Amino acid sequence: MALMTAQEYIESLRKLKTRVYMFGEEIENWVDHPMIRPSINCVAMTYALAQDPQYADLMTVKSSLTGHTVNRFTHLHQSTEDLINKVKMQRLLGQKTASCFQRCVGMDAFNAVFSSTYEIDEKYGTHYHENFKNFITMVQDNDLTVDGAMTDPKGDRSKAPSQQADPDMYVHVVERREDGIVVCGAKCHQTGSINSHWHIFMPTISMGEADKDWAVSFACPTDAEGMYMIYGRQSCDTRKLEEGASIDVGNAKFGGQEALVVLDHVFIPNEYIFLNGEYEFAGMIVERFAGYHRQSYGGCKVGVGDVVIGATALAAEYNGVEKASAVKDKLIEMTHLNETLYCCGIACSSQGFKTKAGNYQIDLLLANVCKQNVTRFPYEIVRLAEDVAGGLMVTMPSQKDFESDTVVGRNGETIGDICKKFFAAREGVSTEDRQRVMRFLENMCLGAAAVGYRTESMHGAGSPQAQRIMIARQGNIQGKKQLAKDIAGIQ
């Protein structure tokens, strides 16, 4: 099959029997639901750009498995150039959507599981790597979107999976059969889960021998029997349900999406199993996936940051303060922070290396430094955006007020007239354009889009402490001490 178009992707979702619940009820036509459709539009952009000749080098690549042209989101990285192009592609998509485009987790899972299964087979003589190669070939040939599912609910985080009062706090095997396994549990905060054709499930922590039933990785279709999703709420999300509120939504076309993914005795055939009890390899999958995903944030968040900076500059222009030195300096600082994140993403990519399996892995230390900066810099970028935009960003009347014909003035002025009068922009700029940029910034800084930019920058791909643990592990303090000893003459 050739690369899918954006419309073909959307239509392919309609063929799935995915179970989706929101506000306590099942959503039958979730593809066209106003709260869900913006996130589908984001994923569709990954297909649309792959069809555009000007982006072909970034969006498409020759498969190392088949030699066919595939979407880069389904690719196994074959060089440091591939790793760098991944980051450039993610920045481009952030610029085009100003949101989370949701295919990164699957791409990062592909590369982590590919190299890990090779080393599991090397030790145990299992067939996980062949299973995975067959699976990823099917994904590439059909241009599928796959969610990478790692984060378990965890329950009492002071206890290992096998020590939990409820064993379902981590995804685990409840039955082993000759033809496969049966699994139960859930994955939280799953970006793009509803919009995916398939899922790859992975462990979320390192495990001991007692946890071997929880040391499991596998793939299954999103509409598998026993699997369902409960849609996650976002700030200001019900604005998307209001009529005549396209301005109030902020980013009306694009958006992110997270869900709780529940596995209720789901059967997984042998050919889709990639880890099944080999507990000492759980940590390897986690570490490699986390490294790839922390690299990703040096691209996607930078692209969204580009849009935030642009909107902030527009707000300053509409307010008539774009020439003020303080405003210029704030925009410079926002740009400096954003480009620093990009530098980190490019650096960890350029220092990548070949795994035993043949695909390329990023420099883990630099990837964790990248993500550590991402937990900080977008917050400062948003703070500066709010500073420049002003309080109107969060106090402006609704779109319906601006359009209201209710008479309130002594000379027949309507509520709409009054709003347009007192919230007018500088000369030559329409009040509506000022409305739009203010609501857009509200959405990016505080609303639904902030989930995929600000808050996800903190917790996505692991919270800040997770990166600090890896930085401590990868930082080679003993080697640095020896450097100092050698120069200082200490024996």
* In a shared domain, residues 236 and 375: no
Read off the pLDDT band of 230 (50, 70, 90): very high
Distance CA 17, CA 436 (A): 37
Residue 14 within any structural domain of the chain: yes
Query: Distance between CA 217 and CA 120 in Å, rounded?
Result: 12
Distances (CA, A) of 96 to 44, 100, 101, 300, 303: 11, 10, 10, 11, 8
Please say which residue of 238, 253, 286 terminates a domain: 286
Q: Which of 18, 117, 184, 258 is catalytic?
A: 258
- The verdict on whether 8 is a catalytic residue reads no
Rounded (10°) CA dihedral 258, 3, 290, 335: -80
pLDDT of residue 451: 85
Cβ contact 128:275 at 8 Å: yes
Q: What's the pLDDT at 2? A: 78
Q: Which of 74, 191, 204, 312 is catalytic?
A: 191
Is 456 marked active-site?
Answer: yes
Please count the structural domains in the chain: 2
The reply to whether 244 and 348 lie within a common domain is: no
- 109-156 pLDDT, tens digit per residue, is 999 999 999 999 999 999 999 999 999 999 999 999 999 999 999 999
What's the Cα-to-Cα distance from 235 to each of 36, 138, 256, 438, 451, rounded to whole Å? 14, 37, 12, 16, 8
Check whether residue 305 and residue 276 sit in a common domain: no
Note whether 325 and 256 are same-domain residues: no
Write the pLDDT tens digit of every residue in 48-100. 999 999 999 999 999 999 999 999 999 999 999 999 999 999 999 999 999 99
d(CA 217, CA 208): 16
What's the CA gap between 434 and 256, in Å, rounded? 24
CA nearest to 93, candidates 47, 26, 32, 139: 47
Catalytic residue among 46, 60, 97, 104: 104
279 and 313 share one domain: no
- Of 242, 262, 286, the residue that ends a domain is 286
Residue with tokens 């000022």: 434
On the question of pLDDT at 282 being above 70, the answer is yes
Q: Is 343 part of the annotated catalytic residue set?
A: no
Range of the domain at 357: 293-477
Q: What amino acid is encoded at 274 in this protein?
A: F
Percent of the chain residues topping a pLDDT of 90: 98
On whether residue 2 sits in a domain, the answer given is no
156 and 14 share one domain: yes
Identify whether residues 254 and 329 lie together within a single domain: no
The answer to the question of residue 456 being in a domain is yes
Tell me the two tokens of residue 322. Answer: 């774009």
Per-residue model confidence as pLDDT tens digits over 143-166: 999 999 999 999 999 999 999 999
pLDDT tens digits, 407-449:
999 999 999 999 999 999 999 999 999 999 999 999 999 988 8
Do 281 and 306 sit in the same domain of this protein?
Answer: no
Q: Is 379 a catalytic residue?
A: no
Average pLDDT, the chain: 97
Q: Which one of 128, 297, 318, 342 is the catalytic residue?
A: 297
How does residue 1 score in pLDDT terms, banded at 50, 70 and 90? low
What would the pLDDT profile of 86-100 be if each residue is shown by its tens digit? 999 999 999 999 999
Residue from 75, 77, 100, 170 carrying the catalytic annotation: 100
Q: Is 240 exposed, middle or buried (0-12, 13-18, 19+ CB in 10 A)?
A: buried
pLDDT digit string (tens) for 362-411? 999 999 999 999 999 999 999 999 999 999 999 999 999 999 999 999 99
Residue 258 annotated to the active site: yes
Task: Please say if 300 is a catalytic residue.
Answer: yes
What b/e readout covers 384-419, taking b as 16+ CB neighbours within 10 angstroms? bbbebbeebbeebbbbbbbebeeeeeeeeebbbbbb
Here the CATH number for the domain that contains residue 389 is: 1.20.140.10
Q: Which of 129, 172, 189, 293 is catalytic?
A: 293
